[in-house]
C-alpha cells in the first residue's frame, strides 16, 4: 500500500515542467508562515485585527504519510536522536487536515504500534514483513526527496545565477510551500543523519545471521560478496567520517568473512564487486552491434581470460593464452598481433569517458566517495575495523581502487613496465584484492619469457615500433586517468570549500589527498605514468 502511493508522484513528474513549476506555479502554493516574503503574516480584513500566519500546501498535510508513521511506530530522528523539529512540524500539519482525518490519526495513535507488537514477539517472519513495510515507506520518501530536488533545489540553483541575489529570495528557495526547510525535513523523515547519509530504521542487531550453506555456484557467492560489501560500507560510513563504526556486528561480519574466504577475496568492497560483478546488458535480448555492455569490454575479456577462456570475440585480440605466450613469444610479438594489443591497451580511451558524462564531480566527492573508502591508511579509522566474532583485534583493508583492476597489471607485466619500489609495492598489495584467477593470470604473464627482451633482441624495427605504440597507448590511458582524478578528487574539494551553502553534505576530509585505496593518489599516478613512458624502446645505432 505504501508503494502504491508513488504512482501519483510519477505522473506528476511526467507532466509538470520543473522550471515552470518553480518559476510560476510554486509561489501560488506558498503560505504566510515561515515565509520571508510575508514575514509578519497576512491580515484578514474584517476577521482579525492582527496578521495571521498559516502554512501553505504541503505533502506533510497528507494523512497517508502520518498514518503509516503512527502505524509503524516510526520516530523521526537526526543521527539517532529524536528530532523535535520534525515531530512538531508534522504535528502542526495535522491541523490542516480534515477533522475526520485528524480523528483517525488520534485513534490510531491511542493503540499499541505495530512496531511494539513485532518487537515483543521476536518472530523472524513478522520482523521481515515489518521491515518490508518500513523499506517501502523509506522508498516512497526517497522518491519524494528526489522530486523536491528536481522541482525546487535544481531549478533554484539554476536561477540563482540570474538576478536572484537578495537574501530573502535565496532563503525562500530552500523552504517548502509549507514553510519548513524542506531538504532537511525530508532527510529527517527518511531517518537520515546530519551528514545526509541514510541510517537504519531498526537496531542493526535485528539483522538475522545469514547461513551461507544455501549459496550454490560461483555466481551466487559473488553476488553475496557484492551485497554484503555494500551493506558493510553503508553501515560503517553511515554517520560520515567523523563517527565511523569501529565494530562490524557479528551477524554481518561472520557471513561476509565466510563468503570472502570461499572466493579468495578480502571482506571489504573491492573493484571486482563494484565493477566486474555489478553490471547488466543494456539490451538483454539484443544481438550483434545493438548489444552493448554497461562496463568496458576490455574487462570482460580479461575476466574471461583469467578463467581460462581466452577465445573471446568481444575484441580483436590474438588467439593465444598466457601459457602460449610463454611457449611461443615470437608469435605474440609479431607486428600483426601487436597492433590489436595496442588497441586494447588504449581501449580507445573513451571507455573511461562515461564518468564525465554521468557522474557529477561534486556529488561523487561529497556523497559517494566515502562509501568506497576502506580502513587501511585512513585517518578516519586509523586502527582498522573489528569484525565481531572473527577477530578481537581490528583488521585493516584498503578501499576500492582502480589499482585492483587486472587490466593495467596485465599490460604492465606483458610489456615489461617497471615501476618505482613504492608504486610497485602498492600495486602488488592491490593484487590481493583481485579474484584468485585474475592474480594467477597476471602471474602466468609474469612467468612467461619477456616480450620486451624479445623485441630488443630481434633487431626488427617494425616490431619495435609496434611495441612502442602499445607503451604509448598505455601511457595515454594513464594520463587520462590522471585527468579523471584531477576532476573528481582535486578540483571537486576546492569547489566544495568555496561553496558557502549547498544541499550536499559536508565533503569528507580524511582522504582529501589520498585515493580510496589509501595511496597518495596524484604522486602515485604521475609516477606510474612516467615509468610507463620510460619503457619506450629506442633503435640501436
Q: For residues 420-442, b (16+ Cβ closer than 10 Å) or e, as one string?
A: eeebeebbebbeebbbeebbebb
Which helix (H) or strand (E) segment holds residue 427: the answer is helix 421-430
Q: Residue 98's CB: how many other CB atoms inside 10 A?
A: 10
Task: Report the alpha-carbon distance of residue 418 to residue 414 in Å, rounded.
Answer: 11
Closest to 60 in 3D by CA, of 32, 83, 94, 88: 94
d(CA 391, CA 215): 24
**How many CA atoms are closer than 13 Å to the CA of 11, on its beta-carbon side?**
5
- The C-alpha cell at 129 is 514483513
Q: Is 521 helix (H, G, I), strand (E, B) or coil?
A: helix
CA distances from 441 to 221, 269, 416, 447, 532 (A): 21, 22, 15, 10, 21
**Residue set of the binding site for heme b:** 481
CA distances from 304 to 9, 328, 406 (A): 43, 21, 11
CA–CA distance, 68 with 444 (Å, rounded to integer): 59
Kindly tell me the sign of the dihedral angle through the C-alpha atoms of 130, 131, 136, 139.
positive
Provide the phi-psi class of 183: left if phi over 0, else alpha when psi is between -120 and 50, else beta: alpha
Interacting residues of 258 by C-beta distance below 8 A, sequence separation 6+: 212
Q: What is the DSSP string of 92-112?
A: HHHTTS-HHHHHHHHHHHTSP
What are the CA-CA distances from residue 327 to residues 166, 443, 446 (Å)?
74, 15, 13
Q: How far apart are CA 413 and CA 470, in angstroms?
A: 13
CB-side exposure of 416: number of CA atoms within 13 Å?
A: 16
Backbone angles phi, psi at 506, to 5 degrees: -60, 125
CB-based burial, 479-497: b 16+ in 10 Å, e otherwise: ebbbebbebbbbebbeebe
Q: Which three cell numbers stand for residue 395?
A: 583488521
Q: What's the chain's Rg over C-alpha atoms? A: 28
Annotated binding site: 481
Residue 59 and residue 144 in contact, taking contact as beta carbons nearer than 8 Å: yes
Region of 310 on the Ramachandran plot (φ > 0 left; ψ -120 to 50 alpha; else beta): alpha
Amino acid at each position: 500500500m505504501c508503494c502504491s502511493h508513488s504512482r501519483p508522484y510519477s505522473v506528476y513528474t511526467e507532466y509538470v515542467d520543473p522550471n515552470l513549476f518553480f518559476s510560476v506555479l510554486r509561489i501560488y502554493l506558498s503560505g504566510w508562515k515561515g515565509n520571508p516574503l510575508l514575514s509578519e503574516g497576512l491580515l484578514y480584513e474584517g476577521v482579525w485585527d492582527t496578521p495571521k500566519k498559516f502554512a501553505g500546501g504541503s505533502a506533510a498535510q497528507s494523512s497517508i504519510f502520518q498514518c503509516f508513521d503512527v502505524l509503524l511506530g516510526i520516530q523521526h530522528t537526526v543521527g539517532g536522536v529524536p528530532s523535535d523539529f520534525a515531530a512538531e512540524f508534522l504535528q502542526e500539519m495535522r491541523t490542516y487536515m480534515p477533522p475526520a482525518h485528524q480523528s483517525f490519526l488520534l485513534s490510531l495513535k491511542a493503540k499499541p504500534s505495530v512496531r511494539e507488537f513485532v518487537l515483543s514477539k521476536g518472530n523472524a517472519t513478522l520482523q521481515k514483513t515489518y521491515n518490508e513495510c518500513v523499506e517501502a515507506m523509506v522508498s516512497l520518501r526517497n522518491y519524494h526527496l528526489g522530486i523536491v530536488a528536481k522541482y525546487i533545489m535544481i531549478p533554484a540553483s539554476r536561477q540563482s545565477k540570474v538576478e536572484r541575489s537578495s537574501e530573502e529570495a535565496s532563503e525562500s528557495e530552500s523552504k517548502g510551500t509549507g514553510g519548513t526547510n524542506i531538504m532537511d525535513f525530508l532527510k529527517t523523515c527518511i531517518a537520515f543523519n546530519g551528514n545526509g547519509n541514510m541510517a537504519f530504521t531498526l537496531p542493526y542487531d535485528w539483522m538475522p545471521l545469514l547461513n551461507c550453506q544455501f549459496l550454490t555456484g560461483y555466481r551466487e557467492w559473488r553476488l553475496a560478496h557484492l551485497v554484503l560489501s555494500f551493506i558493510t560500507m553503508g553501515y560503517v560510513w553511515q554517520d560520515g567520517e567523523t563517527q565511523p563504526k569501529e565494530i562490524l556486528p557479528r551477524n554481518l561480519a561472520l557471513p561476509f568473512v565466510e563468503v570472502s574466504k570461499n572466493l579468495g577475496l578480502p571482506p571489504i568492497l573491492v573493484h571486482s564487486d563494484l565493477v566486474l560483478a555489478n553490471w547488466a546488458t543494456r539490451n538483454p535480448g539484443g544481438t550483434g552491434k545493438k548489444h552493448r555492455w554497461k562496463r568496458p569490454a576490455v574487462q570482460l575479456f580479461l575476466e574471461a581470460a583469467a578463467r581460462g577462456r581466452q577465445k573471446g570475440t568481444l575484441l580483436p585480440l590474438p588467439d593465444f593464452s598466457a601459457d602460449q605466450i610463454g611457449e611461443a613469444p615470437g608469435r605474440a610479438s609479431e607486428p600483426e598481433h601487436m597492433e590489436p594489443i595496442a588497441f586494447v591497451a588504449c581501449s580507445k580511451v573513451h571507455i573511461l569517458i562515461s564518468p564525465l558524462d554521468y557522474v557529477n564531480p561534486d556529488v561523487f566527492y561529497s556523497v559517494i566517495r566515502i562509501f568506497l573508502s576502506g580502513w587501511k591508511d585512513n585517518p578516519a579509522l586509523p586502527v582498522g575495523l573489528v569484525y565481531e566474532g572473527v577477530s578481537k583485534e581490528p583488521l585493516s583493508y584498503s578501499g576500492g581502487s582502480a589499482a585492483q583492476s587486472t587490466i593495467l597489471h596485465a599490460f604492465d607485466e606483458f610489456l615489461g613496465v617497471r615501476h618505482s619500489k613504492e608504486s610497485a609495492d602498492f600495486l602488488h598489495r592491490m593484487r590481493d584484492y583481485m579474484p584468485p584467477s585474475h592474480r594467477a593470470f597476471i602471474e602466468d604473464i609474469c612467468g612467461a619469457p619477456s616480450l620486451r627482451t624479445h623485441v630488443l633482441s630481434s633487431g626488427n624495427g617494425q616490431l619495435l615500433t609496434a611495441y612502442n605504440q602499445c607503451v604509448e597507448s598505455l601511457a595515454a590511458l594513464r594520463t587520462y586517468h590522471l585527468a579523471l582524478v584531477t576532476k573528481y578528487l582535486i578540483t571537486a574539494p576546492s569547489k566544495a570549500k568555496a561553496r558557502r551553502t549547498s544541499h550536499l553534505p559536508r565533503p569528507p576530509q580524511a582522504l582529501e589527498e589520498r585515493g580510496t585505496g589509501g595511496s597518495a593518489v596524484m604522486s602515485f599516478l604521475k609516477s606510474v605514468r612516467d615509468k610507463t613512458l620510460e619503457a619506450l624502446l629506442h633503435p640501436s645505432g
